[in-house]
Amino acid sequence: MSPGHFIPIIDMAKLLAQNGPTATIITTPLIAARFRHTIDRATASGLPLRLLDLTFPSAEAGLPNGCETLETVTSPDLLKKFFGAIYMLRQPFQQLLEQLEPKPTCMIVDKYIPWAAETARMFRIPRIVFDVMSCFYLLCFHTLHVSKVHENVAESEHFALPNFPDTIVLTKSQLPGLFNPGSLDGVHVKEFRERVRVAEAEACGIVLNTFEELEHRYVNEIRKVNGGKIWCIGPLSLCNKDSSDKAQRGDKASIDEIECLKWLDEQEVGSVVYACLGSISRLSSPQLIELGLGLELSERPFVWVIRGDEKAEEVYKWIQGDGFEDRVKGRGLIIRGWAPQVLILDHPSVGAFLTHCGWNSTLEGVCAGVPMVTWPIFAEQFINEKLVGVVLETGVSVGARAAVQMFEEDKSGVAVKREAVRNAVERVMGGGVEAEERRNRAREFGEMAKKAVEEGGSSNLNVKSLIQDMMEQVIGMGPTEDHQRLL
Ligand code: UDP
């Protein structure tokens, strides 16, 4: 229940509906409200889409009113209650399923709703998991889970993933919480994640927001280790063709669409750095300020997105008080709150994406055909950075060393200095053969992404085969016996 999950799920529902079946989206009211306009536009154009919501039991779970997505969960105590509220949705979800006509042919459920496994069994509806990760990440996950290589190393000791197609070197302090839970141990996150893992392994298959040409070796490897089916149907963001859909994707943007496009139109082609660190803010204010100073030092036009929370308040005061705003006038566009990310990335003036490497953002950067400046912060982001930097060779790291785990706000002070930001921007946007080749590779991946979703492209064919498998019920009710043994 965070933007990185519900945004691609809504895109997937639209994509399925564009290909024939009726797609019913079941979510909670605040999330539904963020997509109401998009869905209304889609249904008005004739797409068979339905948006239903279940009341989110905030009060029953002891959550403050409006705490309905992970963006507003700010402490381990709230997280525990938030998990509790998601569990409470099971009963109303079952009631809704009983009433739903016609009965669904198949359920595609976000991987972090593991109780849906029992519900699907109860109603004898085949269940597919929607996983927001890449196959590269899934193989890293599988390798860590099986080899446990990270268990015998110190926090900052480098280790390579064993028997891996590429040489991927990480440290334990860069791993997602499952492998390095930190202070979240007390919230039973480990047990929850184990249930997620089993529910995923028990599902009839996995739908992924990726495309085969991007990571074909990893798609093949994942097909080998996973007994169920894998459908790579992305990049899902490309199903948004209409500029209003792009501008309103995920939430109402904090900047007027016309104003934003006008500013971008005034910049030279390929000259702008777009900097956005995702939907959940974890960096400290001094670190965010250092990022701003790095953008200033780069001497290039930039769009800088700052989340609208308390930290942003301090950063905003600094922006105005320190004279930063005046110094970057005309060449710096600051968006405070929600940015229309895909609309911006699609604009020809954008020449680089400074990203936290959330999987959606990474893939949106790939679609835009621009090189990336990578600044991973938590979860799977350090692993995605390796895909971009080492495998695709389209990114340059700012050199972040350790994950900021949930609720452990960045204590390292200013770990990434402004010069590191400037240097990484220079390496992706500047002159020289290496930079030119990187930009060419990024452009080629962008073209491949677009081809994958066109009629006859790999993802387009995978969507059709997913629909056919669902309709013919060939996916059955669960994994093969071989696969069960892997659990
Ligand atoms: N996003 C956006 N505007 C913002 C921040 C984020 O549209 O100001 C979208 C972004 O395009 C992506 C999603 O929110 O689709 C964030 O997902 P991602 O996996 O990149 O990162 P997360 O926020 O889950 O860390």
Q: What is the mean pLDDT of each run of 10 residues along the chain (487 residues)?
A: 96 96 96 95 95 95 94 90 94 95 93 95 94 96 94 94 97 89 62 86 94 97 87 97 93 96 98 96 90 98 90 90 93 96 98 98 98 96 98 98 80 87 98 98 98 98 95 63 44
| DSSP annotation string for 372-395 | EEE---STTHHHHHHIIIIIS--E
Give pTM, 2 decimals.
0.95
Q: Which residue out of 303, 360, 367, 385 has the highest number of ligand 1 atoms within 8 Å of its CB and is therefore the one to mutate? A: 360
pLDDT of residue 415: 92
Q: What is the pLDDT of residue 486?
A: 42
Question: Which of 279, 350, 383 to mutate to test ligand 1, by most ligand atoms within 8 A of the CB atom?
Answer: 279
Whole-number Å distance, alpha carbon 152 to ligand 1 midpoint, is 34
Residue 302 bridge partners (DSSP):
273, 332
Distance from the CA of 2 to the center of ligand 1, in angstroms? 9
Cβ neighbours of 55 (radius 10 Å): 12
- Give the ligand 1 atom nearest the CA of 359: 19
**Is the bond leading into 235 cis (omega within 30 degrees of zero)?**
yes
> CA-CA-CA-CA torsion for 170, 187, 200, 215, nearest 10 degrees?
-20
Q: Under a CB-based contact definition with an 8 Å cutoff, are residues 130 and 25 in contact? A: no
305 in ligand 1 pocket by Cβ < 6 Å?
yes
Complex ipTM more than 0.85, yes or no: yes
CB of 278 within 6 A of ligand 1: the answer is yes
Closest C-alpha to ligand 1, atom 3 = 339
* Substitution candidate for ligand 1 out of 341, 345, 381 with most atoms within 8 A of CB: 341
Classify 107 as helix, strand or coil: strand
Q: Does residue 7 have its Cβ closer than 6 Å to ligand 1?
A: yes
Question: Residue 114, preceding bond cis, omega within 30 degrees?
Answer: no
What pLDDT digit, counting tens, does each position of 398-444 carry? 999 999 877 776 666 799 999 999 999 999 999 999 999 999 999 99
